[in-house]
Chains A and B, each alone.
Chain A
Amino acid sequence: MIETLKLEKIFGYKQALKSTTLNIEAGEVVALAGPNGAGKSTLLRILATLSRPTRGRAAVNGIEIPQGAMEARASIGYVGHQTLLYDELTIAENLRYYARLYALEKLVPKYEGTDARILEVAKQVGIEKRMDDAVRTLSRGYQQRVSLARALLHRPKVYLYDEPWTGLDQSSSHVLTGIFEQARQEGAAVLFSSHEFERSLAAADRALIMRSGRIIYDGLRQEWRDAAGFAQRYTEELTRATENTKNKT
Chain B
Amino acid sequence: MIFYRQLYAIIAKELAVEWRTKETLSAMLVFALLVLVIFNFAFDLQGVDIRVLGPGVLWVAFSFSGIIGLGRSFAMERDKGSLDGMLLAPVDRGAIFLGKAFANFLFILVMEVITLPLFVILYNVPLEWFPLVGFILMGTLGFSAVGTLLSAIAASTRMREVMLPVLLFPVLVPLLVASVKITQGSLQGLPFSDFQGWFNLLLAYDVIFLVVAYLVFEFVVEE
Contacts and interface: CB of A to CB of B under 8 A. Distances in A.
Contact of A98 (B5, B89, B222): B89
Contact of A87 (B9, B16, B80): B80
Contacts of A216: none
B2 A80 contact: no
Contact of A89 (B8, B10, B13, B91): B13
A80 B223 contact: no
Given A84-B80, A84-B82, A89-B17, A100 B6 contact: yes
Interface string B163-207: 000000000000000000000000000000000000000000000
A109 B96 CA distance: 27
Contacts of B12: 97
A162 B21 CA distance: 30
B80 A82 contact: yes
Given A52-B222, A100-B5, A103-B6, A88 B20 contact: yes
Contacts of A88: 16-17, 20-21
B17 A51 contact: no
B13 A97 contact: yes
B88 A86 contact: no
A195 to B, nearest CB: 19
A2 B145 CA distance: 39
Contacts, number: 80
Contacts of B91: 101
Nearest to B2: A103
B216 to A, nearest CB: 16
A101 B89 contact: yes
Nearest to A48: B88
Interface residues of B, number: 26
Contacts of A93: 13, 16
A7 to B, nearest CB: 15
A49 B8 contact: no
Given A81-B81, A86-B80, A89-B13, A101 B86 contact: yes
B90 A70 contact: yes
B85 interface: yes
B84 interface: yes
Nearest to A99: B9
A202 interface: no
Interface of A: 45, 48-52, 70-71, 73-74, 76, 78, 80-89, 93, 97-98, 100-103, 105-106, 134, 150
Interface of B: 2, 5-6, 8-10, 12-13, 16-17, 20-21, 80-82, 84-92, 222-223
Given A73-B89, A88-B17, 4 more contacts: A70-B92, A84-B81, A85-B80, A103-B5
12 contacts: A73-B89, A78-B88, A82-B82, A84-B81, A84-B84, A86-B82, A87-B80, A88-B17, A93-B16, A97-B13, A100-B9, A105-B5
